[in-house]
Chains A and B, each alone.
Chain A
Amino acid sequence: MSQTQNVEESQETSPEIQEHGNLLEVKDLTKFFPITGGVLSKVIGWVHAVDHVSFEVPRGKTIGVVGESGCGKTTLGRTILRLVEPTSGTIIFDNKDVSTIPQRHFRKYRKRMQIVFQDPYASLNPRMVVRNILTEPLRVHKTIPKGKINPYVLAIMREVGLDKEHLNRFPHEFSGGQRQRVCIARALVLNPDLLVLDEPTASVDVSVQARVLNLFKRIQKRRNLTYMFISHDLSVVTHMADIILVMYLGKILEVGSKKIFTMEKSKVHPYTSALGVAVPIPDPSLERNVILLKGDVPSPANPPPGCVFHTRCPEARAICSEKVPELEQKESGHSIACHFR
């Protein structure tokens, strides 16, 4: 596989490669969006999209972020890449605080952090052929010498399961799964360390989803990539992730292993177990006791006081509406934010 060697050769070696340790550390990251109103467009409130979130991701691992719509998982991914500027908090990427450096200096980190969006059709320029889509970031960041661009791009295409003949096609000529492969290839050309995957399989079919997920796993193994996998589909996240973050109204309620959704009720956050049993399982022989959460998710513009989950929590007591529970470590790699766990 000469192409593969090419890839390896042309890889830019990141300064002081660390085999272990955390690639990403996020501390108290907060993103509030202003709500304006009145005659003079004054700020009359804030949408608490991401509210003092802290976590760390070891190199080569996958962190899965789950939660319902409006929980801030998408904003979290974009804030880490500084596609959205954080309100406060620090983002430490490869032992360097990248949250406050100016955008133009951030560029060299930007190429090491890439994102794959949910809708591959919307995120690909419909007037560009695949060749241009894939070579454009290379020309911007100039990471590969001009003469080597073509074989390099071909190698990447092979890696994601596309053929040479796809090079001159437009996005609309592909199926949904193939389009997502183009997006993955575009994210890979700059040889990133961190890949934020924002609902990457939400718009592909079940039979195709399996192949895309397998592809993600394969690429991760080969390149020692770190993933941040954002999805509302619990089964997909648990399949992919090593660490799982459960978010609700901008807050992290629980950090744990992929087993948290099937663990005993008393050992996990009430929201986590409710989520776990709410997912319909394709096994008709399984008898399950679904805990129905009452009501809807409150608006992130006006989150409830105390524990954000108390309005829907089946176990809520008086203290829950008064005091905010801290995210406390229960055992190694498992933290819960709840007064009664």
Chain B
Amino acid sequence: MKLRDYAIKRLLLLIPVMFGVSIMSFILSNSIGDPIASYIGEDQDRLTEARIQLLTEQLGLDQPLHIQYIRYLQRLWPLETPELTNIGSWYLRPPDLGVSASFRPPLPVLDVIITRFPATAELAIFSMIFAVVIGIPLGIVSATRKDQLPDQISRITALSGVSMPIFWLGLMLQVLIFNSNMIFEDLGLGIKMPYHERYNVNKFFAKEDNILGAVVGLLNLLPFLDLGPIPTTGFYLIDNLLYLPAGVPALESILVSLELFIDALIHIFPPAFCLAWVQMALITRMTRMAMIETMRQDFILLAKSKGLSERVIIYRHALKNALIPTLTIAGLSLAGLLTGTVLTETVFDWPGIGRWAVTAVSNLDIAAIQGFVMVTALIYVLSNLLVDILYAFVDPRIRYD
């Protein structure tokens, strides 16, 4: 089977999977409590019997569960069909995932995901790079110096990585950073700005203050083109690098954006480190194991019999083979990182979807929980597909049957 056919097949399989996920999440989240409860909050006084009645009707909660589910699916369906007979009048619209009631005022779930997901993705991708860049070389060193000092160090690092809970590690890091920052501040070297102030998207970025925004603005001057405003990417590292303060000379603005970028880097480091440690440990151990296994293969013996040096054998012959199992772990890690940020985001107050999910659960915000589950499932399936496609590039033997 061709790779393209395989990808199509897998994408088609996505439909029943997502369907199943939607049923599961719908039933489970509706069984944990009364959706109206999430509207109580601070407005207790205003939530009169009559208003509850109104909300129940508005949200369709008076209907039986299966009708509610069908309505939920109808709202999800991205094709709007005002008149069935007139195909020309069909148009696409964003799926309606409901309203997240844990915000005041309530926000559409899709909007929340779109604004919050980049923060999570950035944290996850940064951790991933961190885990891979450190994990793989560490694994190779442990394999080639098996049972020697580097191997022992990597073993202890990995073991502590898997055995230390993220929340504990996160808190310890915060205490450490806070204390050292106090010392630095006394010395006049401290990082002065507390980060919650920095990481407020809406406050920080004006639309035109960004290179991307400027380019879009310029293009929009052309009479035939209207790209509309592209404010920010939502990735702090990238946005900071692209930041273009208005009315500042070019050279200075580069320095400013660079300074901001470094600042963002400093701030992403502790949560990313926290998040990456476990994955790094897994990748290190996996690479080590695969490397040792590969070095025992027959073709390594042949490579030796050709007279190749140890170095060439390791890097040209063994490494690529050893990375195949590592790739599996890395792929699962990526999915795990994207969704497993719940703890890290809570500990570090990171404005991603993980933090939002915690809020949603504690507020019985059912639409939000469902939205979060759907997004999580989608990420898992897609990252698995990504790994399977990557295999084809690494391993020419892969046939998709």
Chain A contacts to B: CB under 8 angstroms:
36-41
Contact = CB atoms under 8 A, between A and B. Distances in A.
A41 B9 CA distance: 9
B43 interface: no
7 contacts: A37-B1, A37-B5, A37-B401, A39-B8, A39-B12, A40-B9, A41-B9
Contacts of B1: 37-38
Q: Which of A36, A38, A39, A41 has the most CB of B within 10 A?
A: A39
Interface residues of B, number: 6
Given A37-B401, A39-B8, 10 more contacts: A36-B401, A37-B1, A37-B5, A38-B1, A38-B5, A39-B5, A39-B9, A39-B12, A40-B9, A41-B9
Nearest to B1: A37
Contacts of B12: 39
Nearest to A38: B5
A40 B12 CA distance: 10
A263 B194 CA distance: 95
A37 B400 CA distance: 9
Nearest to B7: A39
Nearest to A37: B1
Nearest to B5: A39
A45 to B, nearest CB: 12
B142 to A, nearest CB: 32
A136 B401 CA distance: 37
- By Cβ-Cβ distance, the 3 closest A-B pairs, closest first, are A39-B9, A37-B1, A39-B5
Contacts of A37: 1, 5, 401
Nearest to A44: B1
Contacts of B9: 39-41
A37 B2 CA distance: 9
Interface string B187-204: 000000000000000000
A36 B5 CA distance: 12
A39 B8 CA distance: 7
Nearest to B12: A39
Interface string B1-27: 100010011001000000000000000
A59 to B, nearest CB: 43
Interface string B324-339: 0000000000000000
B7 to A, nearest CB: 10
Interface in B363-401: 401
